[in-house]
Amino acid sequence: GENVEQHPSTLSVQEGDSAVIKCTYSDSASNYFPWYKQELGKGPQLIIDIRSNVGEKKDQRIAVTLNKTAKHFSLHITETQPEDSAVYFCAAIRYDYKLSFGAGTTVTVRA
């Protein structure tokens, strides 16, 4: 099955700096890659996604990039704010609906 690895497991950044989280996947058949943000006591919230026919996608301060050849994708958060502090999960889907999640990255934005 699909195996998604996510790095780093923790990330501390100064407010205003950028944060980058990287994920790799194993199955070249995976073609949809969502990112989730989970705040304490809440369910994961879909924040952005990218499909395998797109290399980059941006939504305000967040962007995702995908390198199909290398089988890795990344989340970039610019101008970080305290409310960006959360656990972020990457995920990948193959031809069915099974989401394979990364282990998560705990992001802390220092004021």
Nearer of residues 20 and 48 to other proteins, judged by Cβ: 48
> How many amino acids of this chain bind other proteins (CB under 8 A)?
20
Q: Tally the C-alpha atoms within 13 A of residue 17's C-alpha that lie toward its C-beta.
A: 13
| Rounded Cα distance, 71 and 91, in Å | 12
Tell me which residue has tokens 């980058």: 20
**Which of positions 51-90 make contact with other proteins (CB under 8 A)?**
51, 89
Which phi and psi (to 5°) does residue 95 adopt?
-80, -15
The token duo for 81 is 């704010």
Tell me which residue has tokens 């499909």: 51
Residue 31 as a binder of other proteins (CB under 8 A): the answer is yes
Nearer of residues 103 and 110 to other proteins, judged by Cβ: 103
Instruction: Give min distance, CB of 102 to other proteins, in A.
Output: 8
| Rounded Cα distance, 43 and 90, in Å | 14
Among 21, 24, 34, 62, binds other proteins (CB under 8 A): 34
Nearer of residues 8 and 16 to other proteins, judged by Cβ: 8
- The residues binding other proteins (CB under 8 A) are 31-32, 34, 36, 42-46, 49, 51, 89, 93, 96-99, 101, 103-104
